[in-house]
Amino acid sequence: MPNKKKTKKSSHYAGVDLGGTSLLAVVTDQRGEVLGVEEERTLVEKGNPEPIIRQVASVVRRVCKKAKLKVADLEAVGIGAAGAVDPKTGIVHLAPNLGWTDVPLGHELEKALKVDVFIDNDVTVAMVGEHEQGAAKRAQSAIAIWVGTGIGGGLVLKGKLHRGGRGCAGEIGHTVMVFDGPLCGCGRRGCVEALASRTAMERDVRAAIEAGQQSVVTEIMEETGKTRMTSSVIEKALAANDAVVVEVLNKAQRILGSLVANLVNTLDPEVVVIGGGLAERLEDRFVGPIRETAYQEFIQKNACEKVRIVASKLGDRAGAVGAAFVAMSRS
Amino acid sequence: MPNKKKTKKSSHYAGVDLGGTSLLAVVTDQRGEVLGVEEERTLVEKGNPEPIIRQVASVVRRVCKKAKLKVADLEAVGIGAAGAVDPKTGIVHLAPNLGWTDVPLGHELEKALKVDVFIDNDVTVAMVGEHEQGAAKRAQSAIAIWVGTGIGGGLVLKGKLHRGGRGCAGEIGHTVMVFDGPLCGCGRRGCVEALASRTAMERDVRAAIEAGQQSVVTEIMEETGKTRMTSSVIEKALAANDAVVVEVLNKAQRILGSLVANLVNTLDPEVVVIGGGLAERLEDRFVGPIRETAYQEFIQKNACEKVRIVASKLGDRAGAVGAAFVAMSRS
């Protein structure tokens, strides 16, 4: 890591949230105020990271232009990438959504952009974003749970990001909650990711349809040209009061509520931030039932409401804004 | 809390581990060196806290005498009590093992001993003991899991005891691991305490015997005059290679291993300390299989062995020594 530079009166940072579906970039000033935003679909080409690396560099250039800056004006760039990343080396070790193994993303982007680049996990940077500017602002202890294709987590403890002894903290999605339950991508059984991620919900909805239950999901996916049961498909199915989706969502919410209770019983944080596509679209329709279950299952009931359980405040910008803050703190 | 006093060149502290079965007291100097130890059976009289309060005061006097000190020479006394305690007020809100609700233990002991008394949870003080002098010495992050009648926990994060926003952190025993599993004392189902505590193991052994399986446990309990399946009963049954006890213990160890993996996946601590009667008696025969399961279930396998999973080093003294350190830091 380079030595800490003298912060100029007005410093600028770019932050990028690099997901398997979309790529969102911001430019901020030294207070984290957003001066420009760019978003586009990620150009995933399995096994070949080059198109995405070029795309990230290009989106950083464009977002700078939008903010009337040059890339050379930036102090640093922060990237949040889904998967197992090493913040020290900037290598993305495993990103199933991007089809990547051991991609030296930080190094490649530094070559392309000629500016310092810092890589981190996507939910880690989202936690930083929510802690700096969002639902966890000023919290001494906070937990982020991002529910999407998988389930990721981030932690703030004693007012600071908690990375753990090996830098591996935050893998909240890999908490076993149903012993000998459904197989998870990680090889264990009954992880919360295999029970309550959007992927798990889709599996359960498909199984119900195959078992002969009526659902509008197939129709909605055909109409909207989606191949996956995205958050927008779920939202439309709920609007149509689809019994299968309602039941599958309720089950996932009950499991997520118990997960939150487990985490609160262990860590007793001030705030739990729930993020990802469903939290963004459904807001308290998604988070409300999770909160209700969690409060019922706190072991210590005194001042339950002091533990806030809320939807992400920054929404889909949490990761990119957090990545800019990570660039700020590490450069 | 009284203002921090000027530490004398040679200051002394007493620490007491107040459990439902036994009561262990130490006197230490300002470096935590143990100058005297006293242990006796706890005089539990359901609904009446007075005999125990008198007993704690008397054991503190005796352990001082052993260390050639007077109670008035002590800077402060620390007490670790099993159950829900409020460290700020010194009130034990709920201690099922002692049959207590809302007992102002700190206040009563200060009246009796005329010295500052600080109350804390029993596993919290054990965590402090292990962090100051035991298996978690110098760790930036550590988790203590105490397996006994129940399952309790304690956490050190960023080098310091983690109490959480409401002061309720550490209730690791109330982590749901079998959704809709056996009923726990707390009212939830499938908590690890209802699956892998000594109480849960006894329930499973009794059920196996009632279902007609052969076991030496009943015989051992009759011979030794025990009414509960204590750690020593389990040790004797293992020595006799009792199939029922072996199977029940293996199942509990598998669940505890998964619990440790869940905690490591979330927090990635440097060390996990397993304590309580079984860990003390069986040492690595108890902790070894827990460690093995946990390592298999880490989501990030790099440098697994950097996360040490070990038996308590201070054994049955962890709580009392930790309570003395708590008295030291809070007085």
Q: Is A124 on the interface with B (CB under 8 A)?
A: no
> Please, what is the end-to-end C-alpha distance for chain B in angstroms?
7
Contact B268 A165 (CB under 8 A): yes
State the smallest CA–CA distance between residue A217 and chain B in angstroms: 28
Sign of CA dihedral A79, A84, A85, A86: positive
pLDDT of A2 higher than 50: no
- Sign of the four-CA dihedral A165, A171, A176, A177: positive
CB contact under 8 A, B266 and A171: yes
| Mean pLDDT to the nearest integer, A50-75 | 97
Chain A: residue whose CA lies nearest to B270: A165
Give the containing element (helix H, strand E) for A244: helix A243-267
- pLDDT surpasses 50 at B3: no
Q: CA–CA separation, B80 vs B168, rounded Å?
A: 15
Is residue B70 scored above 80 in pLDDT? yes
Sign of CA dihedral B158, B161, B164, B168: positive
Tokens of A258: 């118990």
Note whether B263 contacts A: Cβ–Cβ < 8 A: yes
Q: Which residue of A has its CA nearest to B294?
A: A188
Helix (H, G, I), strand (E, B) or coil at A169: coil
**Cα–Cα dist A307/A270, whole Å:** 5
Give the residue from B86, B123, B168 with the most A CB atoms within 10 Å of its CB, the best one to mutate: B168
Q: Which residues of A touch B295 (CB under 8 A)?
A: none
Task: Output the pLDDT for position A9.
Answer: 61
Mean pLDDT for chain A?
94
The two tokens of residue B242 are 């009792």
Put simply, the answer to whether B165 touches A302 (Cβ < 8 Å) is: no
DSSP A34-54: EEEEEEEE----TT--HHHHH
Q: Which residues on chain B are in Cβ contact (under 8 Å) with A261? A: 176, 188
pLDDT of residue B303: 87
Cβ <8 Å between A84 and B171: no
pLDDT band at A301 (very low <50, low <70, confident <90, very high): confident
> Residue A156: which of B46, B164, B49, B265 has the closest Cα?
B164
On chain A, the residues whose CB falls within 8 A of the CB of B176 are 177, 258, 261-262, 297
Question: Which has the closest alpha carbon to B262: B200, B179, B182, B176?
Answer: B176
* ipTM of the prediction greater than 0.90, yes or no: yes
**Distance between CA B170 and CA B177 in Å, rounded?**
16
Provide the whole-model pTM: 0.93
Q: Which residue of A has its CA nearest to B272?
A: A165
pLDDT at B231 over 50: yes
Q: Is A246 helix (H, G, I), strand (E, B) or coil?
A: helix
> Among A267, A50, A238, which Cα is nearest to A169's?
A267
* Residue B268 with chain A: CB contacts under 8 Å: 163-170
Cα pseudo-dihedral B266, B268, B271, B272, rounded to 10:
20
Inter-residue contact A172 to B266 (CB < 8 Å): yes
How much is the pLDDT for B185?
87
Q: Please state, in angstroms and as integers, the Cα–Cα distance from residue A72 to each residue in A69, A80, A237, B121, B217, following that order.
A: 8, 21, 47, 55, 75
Q: What per-residue string of b and e applies to B164-202 under the rule 16 or more CB within 10 Å gives b?
A: bbbbbbbbbbbbbbbbebeebbbebbbbbbbbbbbbbbb
* Mean pLDDT for chain B overall: 94
DSSP labels, A116-158: -EEEEEHHHHHHHHHHHHSTTTT-SSEEEEEESSSEEEEEEET
Helix (H/G/I), strand (E/B), else coil: B85? strand
Using alpha carbons only, what angle is made at residue A232 by residues A226 and A234, rounded to the nearest 5 degrees? 95
Asked whether the predicted pLDDT for residue A6 surpasses 70, the reply is no
B167 contacts A268? CB cut-off 8 A: yes
Closest alpha carbon to A102 in A89, A92, A111: A92
b/e code B235-252 from CB counts within 10 Å (16+ = b): bbbbeeebebbeebbeeb
Q: Is the pLDDT of residue A218 over 50?
A: yes
Q: Which A residues, 163 through 222, put their C-beta within 8 Å of a C-beta on chain B?
A: 163-172, 174-179, 181, 186, 188
Indicate the pLDDT class of residue B8, thresholds 50, 70 and 90: low
Model pLDDT, residue A320:
98
A265 near B CB under 8 A? yes
* Contacts (Cβ under 8 Å, ≥6 apart) of B276: B146, B147, B148, B198, B231, B312
As a whole number, mean pLDDT of residues B136-160 equals: 96
Q: Is B86 on the interface with A (CB under 8 A)?
A: no
User: Smallest Cβ distance to A158: which of B157, B181, B266?
Assistant: B157
The answer to whether A134 touches A325, Cβ cutoff 8 Å, is no
Residue B216 corresponds to which amino acid?
A: V
A222-273 pLDDT, tens per residue?
A: 999 999 999 999 999 999 999 999 999 999 999 999 999 999 999 999 999 9
Asked if B83 has any chain A CB less than 8 Å from its own CB, the reply is no
Where b means 16+ CB within 10 Å and e means fewer, A228-242 reads ebbbebbbbbbeeeb
**CA distance, residue B266 to nearest chain A CA (Å):** 5
Answer yes or no: do A168 and B261 touch at CB < 8 A: no
In this predicted structure, the answer to whether residue B242 has a pLDDT above a threshold of 80 is: yes
Interchain CB distance below 8 Å, B140 and A165: yes
Helix axes B198-210, B231-239, angle to 10 degrees: 50
**B251 backbone φψ class: left, alpha, beta (φ>0; ψ -120 to 50):** alpha
- Kindly determine whether residue B267 and residue A155, on different chains, have CB atoms separated by under 8 Å: yes
Find out whether B202 and B228 touch, Cβ atoms under 8 Å.
yes
Residue from B102, B163, B166 to probe the interface with A (highest A Cβ count within 10 Å) = B166
Ranges of beta strands (E only) in chain B are 12-18, 22-29, 34-41, 74-81, 84-86, 91-95, 100-103, 117-121, 142-147, 151-157, 160-161, 271-275, 308-311
Judged on CB neighbours under 10 Å (0-12, 13-18, 19+), A112 is middle
CB contact under 8 A, A168 and B270: no
